[in-house]
Amino acid sequence: GSLRELDARVSVCRACPRLVEWREDVAVTKRRAFADEPYWGRPIPGWGEAEPRVLVVGLAPAAHGGNRTGRIFTGDRSGDWLFASLHRTGLAAQATSVHAGDGQRLIGGRMVAAVRCAPPANKPTTDERDACAPWLEEEFRLVLPSVRVIVALGSYGWDATLRTMAALGAPVPRPRPKFGHAAEVTIPKPAGDTVRLLGCFHPSQQNTFTGRLTEPMLDAVMARAKEVSDD
Ligand code: SF4
C-alpha cells in the first residue's frame, strides 16, 4: 500500500455510525460564519510530507475546522496556535493554516489525527478510537522509516502513539511512559532504529485560554522536535 491508497480508502470510511452522522450533520447545518462554504464532512487524511522527519499526532478533527476544510488543524483555533508555532520554529512555511488551497506546507513534517472523523464534544468513544486504529497503524507503517521525532498532542495523542507503536511490534517500554508537557522518551521502532517521542499539551482553547499552554511552552517543544529531527 501507499499513502495515496490509504488516503483514498480512509476518505470513504463509514465504520463509526455516530461519527458519520455527526460529521455529516455538521456539514449540512454549518456554523453561521461559514454558511456560504462547502464543508468536507468526511474523514481527514494525514497531511504533509510523505517521508517526514517529524510526525505530529493529534486527537481528531474539529467540527468546523478540519471537518470543514478537509485538512487537519486547518481553519480552527487549535490550528492557529499550532501552525504559528510550527512557523516560528521553522517547521511550517506559513504562520496560518486557513484552507486547503492557502499554500501552507510543512517542512519535514506530517500531521495525523488518532481519530479521523470529528467527534461530538471532541470526545470519541473507546469503540470509535479502536475502529480508527487500523488507519493510524497503516499510516505509521508507511511513514515511520523516515520519522525521527513524534510530537504527541495531549495524552490522547501520546497514548495513541504508544498503542500504535506496540501494535506494529515495537518494544514499547513497560510500564508505559507517562505523558507530560515536554516529556521525552526514546521508543525503538519495530524494525530497529529509534524514534523520540515528545509530549506537548494540546493547543486546544481549553489549554490556551487558561494559560495552561503558552506560546513559549509550545515553541519549546517544537524547537526541540526540530533540533532532534535535524541531528
Ligand atoms: Fe472510519 Fe475512523 Fe471515521 Fe470511524 S473515525 S468512520 S474508523 S475514519
Return the pLDDT at 217. Answer: 98
Residue given cell 499554500 in the structure block: 103
> In this structure, what CATH number is given to the domain that contains residue 37?
3.40.470.10
pLDDT in tens, 5-40: 999 999 999 999 999 999 999 999 999 888 999 999
Confirm or reject: Cβ of 110 under 6 Å from ligand 1: no
Q: What is the total count of domains within the chain?
A: 1
- In a 3-state reduction of DSSP, which class is residue 48? strand
Distance CA 34, CA 29 (A): 10
Q: Under the phi-then-psi rule, with left for phi > 0, alpha for psi from -120 to 50, and beta for the rest, what region is 205?
A: alpha
Mean pLDDT value across the chain:
96
Return the pLDDT at 144. Answer: 97
Where residue 1 falls among pLDDT bands split at 50, 70, 90? confident
**The one-letter amino acid at 124:** P
Q: 187 CA distance to ligand 1 centroid (A)?
A: 27
How do beta strands 109-113 and 54-58 pair? parallel
Where residue 192 falls among pLDDT bands split at 50, 70, 90? confident
How do beta strands 149-153 and 54-58 pair? parallel
**The one-letter amino acid at 152:** A
pLDDT in tens, 211-224: 999 999 999 999 99
Asked if residues 181 and 217 have their Cβ atoms less than 8 Å apart, the reply is yes
pLDDT in tens, 53-65: 999 999 999 999 9
Confirm or reject: Cβ of 115 under 6 Å from ligand 1: yes
Name the residue range of residue 73's domain.
3-230
Pocket test for ligand 1, best of 23, 122, 135 (most atoms within 8 A of CB): 135
